[in-house]
Structure 1
Amino acid sequence: MSTPTVDQSDSTSYGSVDQLLDDVEEALLVREERITDEQAYALADLADQAMDPDDTALARMLDLAHRVRLAWCGEQVSLESILSTKTGGCPEDCAFCSQSSTFDTDVKPQAFLSAEQVTQAAIDAQASGATEFCMVLAIKGPDDKAMAHILESVEVIHEHTDLEVAVSAGLLDAEQARTLAAAGVVRYNHNLESAESFFPRICSTHSWQERLDTCRHVRDAGMELCSGGILGMGESPRQRAELALALASLEPTEVPVNFLNPRPGTPLDQQLVLDPRVALHGVALFRLIIPWAMLRYAGGREVVLGDLQGTGLLGGANGMIIGNYLTTLGRTPQQDIEMLSELQIPVKALTGLL
């Protein structure tokens, strides 16, 4: 399985936006096949035009991405709630993360949540409209203690709710992946975070290849793979396409799209947030490169997109994390549900939930 990287000096042969978008539409909506790497990078090159409100390139990309989403995935939007069951104290030095013990941030290490705390959080998530529940642990990868905590939590969530359970607990080996799958974990999240060519700028304590290997173990164990990244860490538009192409090669079920919300005390705390139009370009770009996946709005959407969040849901996204994120506050679930209602977008929900 190849993982494409990009030479930033590469250029494409597309002479016009019209021809590019016509060819992409032909591939995705007529032939029902994925676009080429050349087309992906050509779409990435439209990021500069996306910043111009008088240019139609972004509107056309968003319209095409929405039609692709409807054709490949349907109308419904999925809502997911996440819970950090082990917060802070992570030994890794990911430059965007305030949970790293390497940086001086306001996030302090906390012990594992109890089974009762996990159960109540899951019950509350289901009551607020979530159909999935993701447990997140701030660790490099699970040791025996962490695995025991995960397995106990999965059991109590299944006992008290109808939620599908997902887990995000760092790097896995093949045996750990098989154990989680056998326990009923439907989906495992492990983001590639960035393009391989950009990754050394954000992390030195583990490699991009280790992340890729974990994703492959998840797939081989029979779990669904949830893997995405963060936009706005200083990467180029072409590196966003590189990341999306690498993700596409893994055939993930779900792709979280996060937007950097710079955290005080981290190396990226002075990074400017993305222009909202560039962020929307990124959403459309990911949809056109990964047409089949659940493209889930995740962290930073409120800060970066503000009132334009609904535009992304009409431009390729078909999932959202609702409620609070790991170390930052989100909107209330009710605000997101009201937004979906105003947009007349149906919500994927368990029977009797909404």
Structure 2
Amino acid sequence: METYSKEQISAIYYRPLLELVFDAAAVHRSNNDHREVQISNLISIKTGGCKEDCAYCPQAARYNTGVNVHGLMPLETVVATAVKAKQAGASRLCMGAAWREVRNNRDFDKVLEMVKEVNKLDMEVCCTLGMLTYEQAMRLKEAGLYAYNHNLDTSEEHYETIITTRTYEDRLNTLHNVRKANITVCSGGIIGLGESEDDRISMLHVLSNLPQQPESVPINALVPVKGTPLENQPRVPVWDMVRMIATARIIMPKTVIRLSAGRHEMSMPEQALCFLAGANSIFAGDKLLTTPNPEFDQDRMMLDILGLTPRKPFKETNQLKPEV
């Protein structure tokens, strides 16, 4: 695995945009099937009431954002949602719970059942449940979990201006526990949090220099939500997303780069530029946890026009479908 210093990443990031996109497209074509896009579906299995203070998040209990708080979704609803997503072309289901950390209780037992049942559908199962221990990661692995999402969000330097209820080290420890349990790692960040471009480069440097690069890196653009501290942040320019995706593609050639939150605000030509720059995954379905997202039919039409095809599940080179 080739690694890059922060200075080297900075030099890549600041290349003239068209040159950067051209170079990233070449890296993408030589390391991946550039015609394939993984379609994932993200559902909120437990919404709102979170004790954290993430400044961007409508699910934090301390902010008045109008989010409809609900407890853990019934197993049958999760399975029905997964079946519908698979029929629409999704190969991965990601289940998100607004928890600070996983606790060893009945709710976690129910999540393990959800993982087992969705795994039977021949879909990659991903969870994002907050911090977790190695023992909890192993229980998820044994249930058939394929991937665990735990974003770094931003640079270590900017982190404390966005979140004070957990540390950057806490996030890295969770990623370590996930990797140790031999679960694939999904970790990325959000741009538009008031960070500098140097912060963006720093976050990419941390991700690309983990002991093993993440199999999946979501690049999110902030969707400002009324009631959160970041409600008045301006929309992230599409060029910033393209620059982040292209840089991530060059320094993490085989990683699945996910064009994530903020896609709802993008036109089809803007999304096409992101795919050209190396993005090869989208979240489909009308919601991303609690924020708007393009619907399956819209995305299917876009992929047809661009000549892209849905990627099949379990394509990571060193991973097999979990046996349960």
TM-score using structure 2 length: 0.91
Identity percentage of aligned residues: 33
Counterpart for residue 260 of structure 1: 222
In structure 1, the residue corresponding to 2:66 is in which secondary structure?
coil
Q: Quick one: distance in 2 between partners of 1:70 and 1:230?
A: 26
In structure 2, the residue corresponding to 1:81 is in which secondary structure?
strand
Counterpart for residue 247 of structure 1: 207
Aligned 8 A contact 2:263 2:294 in 1? no
**Worse-superposed segment, 167-176 or 272-281:** 272-281
Q: Quick one: distance in 1 between partners of 2:14 and 2:100?
A: 35
Aligned 8 A contact 2:4 2:205 in 1? no
Aligned 8 A contact 1:259 1:304 in 2? no
Match of 1:62 among 21, 34, 41: 21
Match of 1:138 among 84, 89, 98: 98
Counterpart for residue 275 of structure 1: 237
Aligned 8 A contact 1:224 1:253 in 2? yes
Paired amino acid for 2:308 = I
Residue 155 of structure 1, CA deviation: 2.1
Aligned 8 A contact 2:264 2:292 in 1? no
Structure 1: runs of 5+ lacking an equivalent: 1-31, 47-56
Q: Quick one: distance in 1 between partners of 2:273 and 2:306?
A: 9
Residues 1:158 and 2:119 aligned together:
yes
In structure 1, the residue corresponding to 2:201 is in which secondary structure?
helix
In structure 2, the residue corresponding to 1:61 is in which secondary structure?
helix
Counterpart for residue 10 of structure 2: 41
Structure 2: runs of 5+ lacking an equivalent: 315-324
Counterpart for residue 200 of structure 1: 160
Aligned 8 A contact 1:261 1:303 in 2? no
Counterpart for residue 309 of structure 1: 271
Aligned 8 A contact 1:95 1:266 in 2? yes
Cα deviation digits, residues 230-284 of structure 1 (max 9, x gap): 0111111111111011111221100011100101100000011111112211211
Aligned 8 A contact 2:113 2:143 in 1? no
Q: Quick one: distance in 2 between partners of 1:68 and 1:186?
A: 26
Aligned 8 A contact 1:81 1:321 in 2? yes
Residue 289 of structure 1, CA deviation: 2.2
Mapping for residues 29-108 of structure 1, pairs under 5 Å: 33-46=2-15, 57-75=16-34, 76-108=36-68
Counterpart for residue 342 of structure 1: 305
Q: Quick one: distance in 2 between partners of 1:176 and 1:314?
A: 38
> How many residues were matched structurally?
309
Residue 158 of structure 1, CA deviation: 2.8
Q: Quick one: distance in 2 between partners of 1:239 and 1:245?
A: 10
